[in-house]
Structure 1
């Protein structure tokens, strides 16, 4: 079933089963997306032809970035109109494009620091996601606060493209770690709440996977800027 909400009354046990089922599906799709991203990043960095085609032409690189943004908005905004197959395909395509553009980090940071930062990211993400899933608190207020913080980070990042301040970059990254750590807990809690309200099927799982995937990737990049050793 791929409807977002079911309208029949459910027992507490049924709600718990629905929550566990949806969160497993979310993590499966998210893990698959991260795997696709990693594979495409390795393939790209190993191919001089691809590197030259993507990073040797700014128009191509920016076109890929805009394509990624378009896919995020398409999945998030049109999920109810998409078929489950279309939503799945768009998510995998987004993960693949992200892997292509993220391959640049291998040219900037050492493989050892990328690996260690990934482990730190995974541990932090896992701990906060578990918290978001098991907490009995209502995290709605926390989500609103973090969203405002996210908007601030986006604006500051755009400004810093022109000012090129290393101090501002460090501050933005540090705040980004805090924001995306918190968003990991909030988004996990929100997915659990979605399941409790009746969301089930592949499309809610894809939407949840995309949300947590973005949290993970952004947390990883922010930590890498703070902890990564440059070549």
Structure 2
């Protein structure tokens, strides 16, 4: 019987691999902001029609999940990055209604910059905690998934109820849930739970996107100034 040969565990190689995935994720995340901004500019400048109501939500989800399916299928090929960037351009277009509403305020540009700055602070804080903390946040996954489902259901219900209090509650909940998702997703990369930088970027991008849009709407509600 020939004894099996086991390779020695190379801790430095593992750390190097995880660091590479994290670095590539951050670079691709930064790159993804370019088509997002372009999509937003196109949407605002050409006043693209807004997807409203239940039909609009269904159409949005169909396109978004179609992109996500394509990203999953191409994540290990050369097409993965262009598909991801196409998705971020689409998500930029979807910012059209909230941006047009915000720009209707006298201090609209300041509100946009405030939401951008707030998102950047949240990202920096969560990324730092996820990287340096010894605490394992992987147990949050099931709770975050459940919270996201509740948030989605509440948002869908409020399409028909149009309750201001529920709308405000969903925005606050959105910021809290996706801030926690950001912590969870970055630590997964740091700990080696996510080894593909394209899907890692998709997860972190969605966290950042949702935090930004919720913060922007909250700032508009609290500080928007009419002419």
TM interval, shorter chain, is 0.7 to 0.9
Q: Deviations over 1:82-122 (max 9, x none)?
A: 54222212101101111112122221001210111111111
- In 1, the alpha carbon distance for the partners of 2:58 and 2:136 equals 39
CA distance 1:70–1:223, change in 2 (3 Å): same
Alignment of 1:1-231 (within 5 A): 10-47=9-46, 51-52=47-48, 54-55=49-50, 63=59, 66-76=62-72, 78=73, 83-109=76-102, 110-194=108-192, 199=195, 204-228=196-220, 229=224
- CA shift at 1:149, angstroms? 0.8
Distance 1:165 1:8 in 2: 61
CA RMSD of aligned residues (A): 2.5
- Compare 180-189 and 85-94 and name the one that shifted more: 85-94
Q: Which moved more, 1:98-107 or 1:24-33?
A: 98-107
The answer on whether the counterparts of 1:61 and 1:101 sit within 8 Å (CA) in structure 2 is no
The Cα shift of 1:61 comes to 9.0
Q: Given that residues 98 and 213 in structure 2 are in contact (C-alpha distance below 8 angstroms), is that contact kept between their aligned partners in structure 1?
A: no
Q: 1:230 to 1:90 in 2, by over 3 A?
A: farther
5+ unaligned residues in a row in structure 1: which ranges?
A: 1-6
Displacement of 1:173 in angstroms is: 1.0
Instruction: Compute the TM-score of the two structures, normalised by the length of structure 2.
Output: 0.83
Greater relative contact order (Cα < 8 A, sep 6+): 1
Per mean C-alpha deviation after superposition, the further-off stretch among 18-27 and 38-47 is 38-47
CA radius of gyration, larger in: 2
- Counterpart contact for 1:133–1:185, Cα < 8 Å: no
1:3 is matched with none
Q: Post-superposition shift, 1:66?
A: 2.7
The list of structure 1 runs, each at least 4 consecutive aligned residues, that deviate by more than 3 angstroms after superposition, is 7-10, 54-65
Contact 2:36–2:88 (Cα < 8 Å) also in 1 = yes
Residues 55 and 61, structure 1, Cα contact 8 Å, conserved in 2: no
- Structure 1 residue 57: Cα displacement: 9.5
